[in-house]
Amino acid sequence: MRYKLLGQHTGIRLSEIILGAGMFGLKWGHGADIEESRKIFDGYVEAGGNFIDTSDTYQFGESEEFLGEFIKPRREELFVTTKFTMSVDPKGGILATGNSRKAMVHSLEQSLKRLKTDRLDLYWVHFPDALTPIDEIMRGLDDLVRAGKILYIGLSDFPAWRVSAASVLAELRGWTPVAAQQIEYSLIERTPERDLLPMAAAHGLATVGWSPLGGGVLTGKYRKGEKGRNEGMGGRVFQPENTPQRTAIIDALEAIAAEIGSNPGRIAIAWVNTKGVWPIIGPRTREQLDDNLGALELTLSPEHIQKLDEASAITLGFPHDLLSTPSMRNRMTGGKLDSFIQPSELAR
């Protein structure tokens, strides 16, 4: 396991693959019991992992409860994160859900009890609720940092403009900065490249990517008749092989796997890492964990990366496609594009 910094605002050093604990528990009807969850947790930590992600709503609180037992003996060796917005109770009332300060504080207090810890290393706002102003969210989180209840702040599944606004607002008002964003990102979900990834780079945020395997479809196992999340979770957080491009992506993964003696899932995780995005793996068994961690042993060649990039390519859309044309770029440099020293060249 290697380690890298969490963005440009923290100095914290964390393992390059994150353990997602969404499968810790059985209250969703699909997951792992406490014995299997402990095997997954122990295997990850033994491999050098120290970055663990969960949410109050995962398995309706059971994920946090399991983790609370597991982390007790080694709390200071681990970076533990959880989320709030939707409430641990699927029937949570109007005041227990959303991103208001009241919901935030209540959710945090309950998560700390389940996790058996006095503070969180990072607290994610799970989703924007389309109602709470960004200054209410950021001021509430800053108060929790000052109270010693959380150390770092993250925004999950937020549009780029809201994350950007939060980052600028925090800087102007002297509040705790946003450290990271969490988004879906994989070979079959590359749309964050349009705005979310450039925005994070501009503001110095780490990007954490959930579902690097597209809910498992990128492993190729559904071609063999396996069911997994497609049935176990009613199709939620699952990307089916339902387009010619998705078929081409899985074909490319299988071809590379045959060439280098690996498997499609490991290659898909390794590809996410090459894009500067932190992959979150969400194994349901110890066997799946060990297989996912095999991605750490891979070094994809430039040719492999190019092949996967081409198979999964998306259009960036307006205004990106317009502004990136050679004629437009040449106009904007007074006809001197070929002789202009690009910023990346200045850094060499």
Q: Is 253 within the bounds of a domain?
A: yes
Q: Is 339 within the bounds of a domain?
A: no
Domain containing residue 101: CATH number: 3.20.20.100
pLDDT at residue 235, rounded to an integer: 62
pLDDT at residue 347, rounded to an integer: 47
Pairing mode, strands 278-281 and 206-210: parallel
Q: Which residues span the domain enclosing 174?
A: 3-314
Q: Is 337 within the bounds of a domain?
A: no
Ranges under pLDDT 50 in the chain: 347-348
Nearest to 79 by CA among 10, 156, 141: 10
Q: Is 328 within the bounds of a domain?
A: no
**What are the tens digits of pLDDT across the range 187-229?**
999 999 999 999 999 999 999 999 999 999 999 988 876 666 5
Whether the CB-CB separation of 37 and 25 falls below 8 Å is answered with: yes
pLDDT at residue 340, rounded to an integer: 80
**Which residues on neighbouring strands pair with residue 181, listed in sequence order?**
155, 207
The number of folded domains in the chain is 1
Report pTM.
0.93
pLDDT at residue 112, rounded to an integer: 98
Q: Is 326 within the bounds of a domain?
A: no
| Among 44, 58, 123, 185, the one annotated catalytic | 58
Whether the CB-CB separation of 271 and 306 falls below 8 Å is answered with: no
pLDDT at residue 236, rounded to an integer: 67
Distance in angstroms (rounded) separating the CA atoms of residues 259 and 243: 25
**What are the tens digits of pLDDT across the range 25-66?**
999 999 999 999 999 999 999 999 999 999 999 999 999 999
Q: Which residue has the tokens 């040449």?
A: 330
CA angle (58 as vertex; 126, 137 as ends), nearest 5 = 20
Q: Is 344 within the bounds of a domain?
A: no
Distance in angstroms (rounded) separating the CA atoms of residues 9 and 203: 9
Distance in angstroms (rounded) separating the CA atoms of residues 182 and 82: 12
pLDDT at residue 348, rounded to an integer: 42
Q: Is 336 within the bounds of a domain?
A: no
Termini Cα distance of the chain: 29
Q: Which amino acid is it at 106? A: H
Three-state helix/strand/coil letters over the chain:
CCEEECCCCCCCEEECCEEECCCEECCCCCCECHHHHHHHHHHHHHCCCCEEECCCCHHHHHHHHHHHHHHHHHHHHCEEEEEECCCCCCCCCCCCCCCCHHHHHHHHHHHHHHHCCCCEEEEEECCCCCCCCHHHHHHHHHHHHHCCCEEEEEEECCCHHHHHHHHHHHHHHCCCCEEEEEEECECCECHHHCCHHHHHHHHCCEEEEECCCHHHHHHCHHHHCCCCHHHHCCCCCCCCCCCHHHHHHHHHHHHHHHHHCCCHHHHHHHHHHHCCCEEEECCCCHHHHHHHHHHHHCCCCHHHHHHHHHHCCCCCCCCHHHHCCHHHHHHHCCCCHHHCCCHHHHCC
pLDDT at residue 233, rounded to an integer: 60
pLDDT at residue 344, rounded to an integer: 63
HSE (side-chain half, CA atoms, 13 Å) at 63: 28
Q: Is 333 within the bounds of a domain?
A: no
Annotate 226-256 with b (16+ C-beta within 10 A) or e (fewer): eebbbebbeeeebbebeeeebeebbebbeeb
pLDDT at residue 138, rounded to an integer: 98
Q: Is 185 marked active-site?
A: no
